Amino acid sequence: MTDPTTGTAHATFPAALAATGDMPRYDLIIFDCDGVLIDSELLSCNALIDLLRQHGIDVDLDLVFDRFLGRSPQAIVEYCTSYERPLPDDFQRKLTMAVRATFATHLKPVPGAAKVMHGLKTRYCVASSSDLERMEYALRRTGLSSLVQGHLFSAEMVRRSKPAPDLFLHAAAAMGATPGRTLVVEDSVSGVRAGKAAGMTVWGFVGGSHYATRDGRALLLAAGADRVFDQMTDFHAHEAGLSDHDA
């Protein structure tokens, strides 16, 4: 489009997006799974609360968000042990069953996530604190499994889980990317801290239902996120510097 008063050509909004659609600043994009690609965090947290209460451990949603969001199941074990309420050996199996049951009836993809992945030219993968079996089930359930092409990385693969950088560093190395040219998309404080500790750019995503009543933007910015956005439709607009949601 040409400005009739100056004769200067300006790119239209779609053209600007097209110019940055291949995400040239990055060689790899790492998506978290829960809360970024699938709207699962609230479902998982409520299943955990119910199961802990069955074992006489009274927790609420705020505590579960603050302590366990984005963390591996080991964080739950360590928390309960620290309060001298060790969990039974079959706790993880029961939690897996409870989460799968709620996923079977309520799990949905994050709106726009599939479209973002379809449109990317840059390589991408998924790295999550969830185990591989749960990730694979959830991605199949939401119709996203064909888009990840087997590039799934779990905290099971590394010694230390988030907020340590190990998982993201492992994923980047496996995908042949350097940390400085890797973008992480995360919804949790521990995930943001892990990405920053890995030397990566981190965008916080707060579009999941678990942030409906919480100020996720403030939490993720305080954790070190480089940007925060709340709709997947803004993903490419962020890269173009054209999003009104840019923090």
What would the pLDDT profile of 230-247 be if each residue is shown by its tens digit?
999 888 755 544 334 444
Question: pLDDT confidence of 24, banded at 50, 70, 90?
Answer: low
State pTM to two decimals.
0.82
Please state, as a whole number, how many other Cβ atoms lie within 10 Å of the Cβ of residue 181: 15
pLDDT of residue 247: 40
Q: What is the rounded average pLDDT of the residues 185-212?
A: 96
Q: Which amino acid, residue 212?
A: A
* Burial letters 107-128, b for 16+ CB under 10 A, else e: bebbeebbebbeebebbbbbbb
**CB-CB contact of 235 with 242 (8 Å):** no
Q: What is the pLDDT of residues 159-189, one digit of tens each?
A: 999 999 999 999 999 999 999 999 999 999 9
Please state, as a whole number, how many other Cβ atoms lie within 10 Å of the Cβ of residue 19: 12
Of 102, 106, 34, whose CA–CA distance to 71 is shortest? 34
Q: 3-state DSSP call for residue 212?
A: coil
Domains plus CATH for the chain?
14-39+108-240 (3.40.50.1000), 42-106 (1.10.150.240)
**CB-CB contact of 109 with 37 (8 Å):** yes
Q: Which amino acid, residue 147?
A: L
pLDDT of residue 35: 95
Q: Is the pLDDT of residue 155 over 90?
A: yes
Tokens of 142: 């939401």
Q: What is the rounded average pLDDT of the residues 105-128?
A: 94
